[in-house]
Structure 1
Amino acid sequence: MRDRSVSRFAAGALSPERRAADLRRLRDEEFDVLVVGGGVTGVGAALDAASRGLRVALIEASDLAAGTSSRSSKLIHGGLRYLEQLEFPLVHEALRERGLLATRLAPHLVRPVPFLVPLPAETPGVAGVAKRAWHRLYYGAGVALYDAFAGLVGGGRGMPLHRHLTQSGARRLFPSLREEGLAGAIRYYDGQVDDARFVVTVARTAASLGAAVVTGVEAVGLLRQARQVTGVRVSADGAEFDVRAKTVVAATGVWSDDVSSWLPDARVGFRVRASKGVHLVVPRSAITGEVGLILRTASSVLFVIPWGGHWIIGTTDTDWELDRAHPAASAKDIDYLLSHVNEVLDRPLTRGDIEGVYAGLRPLLRGESDSTSALSREHAVVEPLLGLLLVAGGKFTTYRVMAQDVIDKAVRRLGDVRHSGTADLPLLGADGYEAMWRDRADLARRHELSVGAVEHLLERYGTLTTELLALIDADRSLAEPLPGAPEHLSAEVVYAARHEGARHVVDVLARRTRISIETAHRGVQTARRTAELMAPVLDWSPATTESEITTYLARVDAERESQRMPDDAAANTTRLTAV
């Protein structure tokens, strides 16, 4: 078993050498399935197709999870609020996937996180008592149904059951909750995930099964024979060439309408609308609490989520029709989040508490309502031309279902009968994780690291941690913490470039780690050392190394300045001064 695991780990390495080999494959082979898009749906589709034994390639113009899939609320959840909208099938599906991920597919990456649903106090008297009772009954019934759905679906619950709390019980778990206006709370659990790391792990799992996974390859047009798509014209490293495929799957999220523009003679059947979600990151010391919060706002919900040594506060839900590659948070977005969260905190947060800010775009299928929060979180798969499948919509939690649906259509048109195996396919790093976690103290002792350092690695890499420990054993300098980010080891940067497909400093600081949002300096103090560690792996010249540093620092400056702008238009213009 161990030999097979080691072999699969090696086969899943997205190294510079692997990228060069996979680029040659793109030029030379004809694939059964070519996936365009390196977000969670795209890598999920590549893994699903590879699990069926198909010849698979995935291309991504930028980096894995460079868009929406690295800018979420970091939750694997059923969508508690969708119960209120009577979207029972969506909740049922998401809870089933949550259970699979937490118990079977990715227990090293998805773990329970507790939340409180605060219950508002009402005016005294008989009417007030009745209203308090109604609130507890109403919300309690919703959370109980949520738990019931989780227990009924397959894959294991993976989360503890909910519990009712008194006012004092709620404040023991979250002392920063204002006492006035609080009648009690209900505690429930959902799943938490580092979204970008999850995407990279799915991509590596697909690569371990033979998929060619290549970033820095942009699709610029479709290859066609009459009304049948036969591949994609791509641009990579300054050259254009054709990639041949029997089926092309476009999993391009908020760029889906761009693919549609390549089809003037075909009716797609759906449009995608971009909704901007902004999140704030503040230090754990800014709020006293052991659990998260879910709060109602006039238009949506607001989460306060424990995130290691930090809190994530979000999100907004507003139309965005500007640059999709670099959505910008404005001062208005930040003020909105601060004002709403401060309604329930005993010590208001200020801009001085903010460590990081990030903005992402949700790809929502166009619906009947003009309000983006009311648009569908369902997904759609369409075939506007023979050989071209578009998949869009959905949510991070249900990526595997979306991937299975689109590859089911692909295999039918290929005349294949093989079924998806992803419901029983643990992601790389999952096999043996529980045993390695139990033995973490011994692992730390044998490799001369602190237990905390090993726990940090295990929670990010699972049993792939052995590969990082091997790097450290070969070069003890890689056990040193990164400047400005002492919880991260230097080995993580080398590993990102050597095994995880990271090609730029921003790939490491914004996605392979979360240093860009988890430090007040936003990675500025870490950028030079990161570039120096990446340089020998990627064969950078001194000039390239300096350019990488300069580019990253300009990105941080542009983002900081955009967050001072009063509205979306000004923030977008400012953000685009550095891409």
Structure 2
Amino acid sequence: MHVPTAPEATVLTRLTREQRAAALEEMNREEGLDILVVGGGITGAGIALDAASRGLRTGVVEMGDWASGTSSWSSKLVHGGLRYLYQLDLPLVREALSERGRLLETIAPHLVKAQPFLWPLTHHCERSYSAVGVGVYDALALAGARGHRTVPIQKHLGRKGARALAPALDPSTLIGAIRFYDARVDDARLVIDLIRTAVGLGALAASRARVTGFLKDARGTVTGAAVTDLETGATHEIRAARTINATGVWTEDTQNLATDAGGLKVLASKGVHIVVPKAAIDAETGIFLRTEKSVLFIIPWPRYWVIGTTDTPWTEDVAKPVATAADIDYILQHANEVLSRPLSRDDIIGVYAGLRPLLQPRLKPGADNRLAASTKVSREHTVTRVAPGLTAIAGGKLTTYRVMAADAVDHALGEALARAHPSATARLPLVGAAGYRALAARAGAIARERGWTLARVTHLLDRYGDELPALLDSIDDDPSLGRPLGEAPAFLRAEVAWAVTHEGAAHLDDVLLRRVRLDIEHRDRGLG
């Protein structure tokens, strides 16, 4: 498999209106696809890349913008899940930590960043059991990376050391802390880079293309999907040997288009986060808290903090989850238990809610019991054959998207074909990743050449990786693109242009919500 160089990738992976229209036209051809993926969140994007990396003729359609559902409203963490350790789910934690290492080292080092967290301790007895848990966490990460350390190991701190890193911690109850590492990522950018990388390997990708039904042959086998272009109203019949439903909280709605007898039962769980300005919390690290229900993260980003999450059932419109006063109270209450200056609603500059698909396999009344044998259930995700020719996957988490994708494609292909066409994504860098470190080593020189701050260059490198030279070329061609956005000076006009010319942004929301993310760091959601 040829991995394109950075200049090649920038051209080959462009998501544009023209590329989208051509993809729909190509998918509509009589010869059809090997794999059609329905859903353009982290799971569907991962599946599209996995299938394309195997040399399969692949198409992916998404009814909204890429990552416009759950995948842009996560905690934005790449982590093993410390809470699973206390449930003794060591295999799950090891798998997630192994994937964290791959993302940090090879797959997306420009997007995924090691992030230190402090676990504040308020009782001396906490130190021993917390240290054991974090120690196992470190050991599993090391084992998953085959002895290669991808983040520093835990460090024990007294009260003074903890407050040196996080003066915001309340000293009246603090007896010390444990520092450990996980990682953070811009979730929407990760999805977009997955789609772009898949397109670079030959996948056909179209957003705002809704599946309205499934095609079937005389025996009832699913042979593709009927798709409506939501931009033009045109309809397409996309034929595929195998179709994979990766629509998250829309899983049941999608599978019901094919059958009323079997499939996955998905329950939506709402996760709410609040966003506060960087100045609201005086700390150099993130903060990790255990709550009576789960855990709470206080996560640093360059200009703000993301704090969450909640975990409550959601039975209303899955397209429009909203935070309640109780959700915000819960987050503020638990964050304020360790902060010397309590946060209030006045500190909040943004709130967002996403839905996590919680699931269990099910067979509807009248289902063919033979379908039960074709269900693979992991601790976090499930893959099943809903009907002949149609596979569904749901559950899981952002960190393990690659494993989920490989499982879904393996399941859809069947054992023999999966062996003949194995997954090739374990060491496949995403667009922007391959030359990132070499370019990052020149960040200071680039800053001097451009008359920019190092922070400006680092910001661009951490978003565009080795595509930065192409972005700079666009500024050289049109110097006005080198000017900062008026009300958001951390971003250049070139970034908005790039979102349209390379990242598939077709509407203002696409830019503000999923490309430059101004919606969560400005009270006016970036409209100023």
Q: TM-score range by the shorter chain?
A: over 0.9
The superposition leaves residues 513-539 of structure 1 with CA deviations (integer Å, 9 ceiling, x where unpaired) of 1100011222120xxxxxxxxxxxxxx
Q: Which residue of 2 aligns with 1:202?
A: 194
Compared with structure 1, are the counterparts of its residues 367 and 412 closer, same or farther at alpha carbon in structure 2 (3 Å cutoff)? closer
**1:441 matched to 2:436:** no
| Structure 1 unaligned regions, length at least 5 | 122-131, 369-374, 526-579
Q: Which residue of 1 aligns with 2:234?
A: 239
Q: Distance in 1 between matches of 2:379 and 2:525?
A: 32
Q: Which residue of 2 aligns with 1:211?
A: 203
Q: Which residue of 1 aligns with 2:221?
A: 228
1:147 to 138, 155, 160: 138
Contact 1:52 1:420 in 2 (8 A): yes
Helix, strand or coil at the partner of 1:73: coil
Contact 1:108 1:459 in 2 (8 A): yes
Moved more, 270-279 or 255-264: 255-264
Contact 1:112 1:192 in 2 (8 A): yes
Offset of residue 193 of structure 1: 0.4
Q: Distance in 2 between matches of 1:365 and 1:506?
A: 30
Contact 1:377 1:395 in 2 (8 A): no
Offset of residue 273 of structure 1: 0.9
Contact 1:36 1:248 in 2 (8 A): yes
Q: Distance in 2 between matches of 1:434 and 1:512?
A: 22
Moved more, 157-166 or 244-253: 157-166
Helix, strand or coil at the partner of 1:13: coil
Q: Which residue of 1 aligns with 2:302?
A: 308
Contact 2:78 2:182 in 1 (8 A): yes
Offset of residue 181 of structure 1: 1.7
Q: For residues 37-186 of structure 1, what are the structure 2 equivalents within 5 Å? A: 37-121=39-123, 132=124, 134-154=125-145, 156-186=148-178
Q: Which residue of 1 aligns with 2:365?
A: none
Q: Which residue of 2 aligns with 1:388?
A: 390
Give the number of equivalent residue pairs.
507
Q: Which residue of 1 aligns with 2:347?
A: 353
Counterpart of 1:420, as a letter, is: S
Helix, strand or coil at the partner of 2:6: helix
2:33 to 28, 31, 34: 31
Contact 1:380 1:392 in 2 (8 A): yes
Runs of 4+ in 1 over 6 A off after TM superposition: none
2:477 to 474, 479, 493: 474
Counterpart of 2:8, as a letter, is: S
Contact 2:384 2:393 in 1 (8 A): yes
Counterpart of 1:209, as a letter, is: L
Q: Distance in 2 between matches of 1:152 and 1:175?
A: 34
Offset of residue 240 of structure 1: 2.0
Helix, strand or coil at the partner of 2:426: helix
Instruction: Report percent identity of matched pairs.
Output: 51
With normalisation by structure 1, the TM-score equals 0.85
Q: Distance in 2 between matches of 1:22 and 1:106?
A: 26
| Structure 2 unaligned regions, length at least 5 | 363-376
Compared with structure 1, are the counterparts of its residues 355 and 444 closer, same or farther at alpha carbon in structure 2 (3 Å cutoff)? same
Q: Distance in 2 between matches of 1:90 and 1:8?
A: 34
Offset of residue 324 of structure 1: 1.0
Contact 1:13 1:500 in 2 (8 A): yes
Q: For residues 456-495 of structure 1, what are the structure 2 equivalents within 5 Å? A: 456-495=459-498
Compared with structure 1, are the counterparts of its residues 475 and 302 closer, same or farther at alpha carbon in structure 2 (3 Å cutoff)? same
1:339 to 333, 339, 358: 333
Offset of residue 257 of structure 1: 1.2
Q: Which residue of 2 aligns with 1:508?
A: 511
Offset of residue 385 of structure 1: 1.2
Counterpart of 1:252, as a letter, is: T
Q: Distance in 2 between matches of 1:139 and 1:13?
A: 46
Offset of residue 377 of structure 1: 5.8
Offset of residue 96 of structure 1: 0.4
1:298 to 292, 295, 303: 292
Q: Distance in 1 between matches of 2:409 and 2:259?
A: 25
2:254 to 246, 252, 259: 259
Offset of residue 241 of structure 1: 2.2
Q: Distance in 2 between matches of 1:412 and 1:497?
A: 38
Compared with structure 1, are the counterparts of its residues 148 and 7 closer, same or farther at alpha carbon in structure 2 (3 Å cutoff)? same
Identify, as 1 or 2, the structure richer in helix. Answer: 1
The superposition leaves residues 60-84 of structure 1 with CA deviations (integer Å, 9 ceiling, x where unpaired) of 0001100111011110000011000
With normalisation by structure 2, the TM-score equals 0.93
Q: Distance in 2 between matches of 1:26 and 1:328?
A: 36
Counterpart of 1:468, as a letter, is: L
Compared with structure 1, are the counterparts of its residues 264 and 386 closer, same or farther at alpha carbon in structure 2 (3 Å cutoff)? closer
Offset of residue 265 of structure 1: 4.8
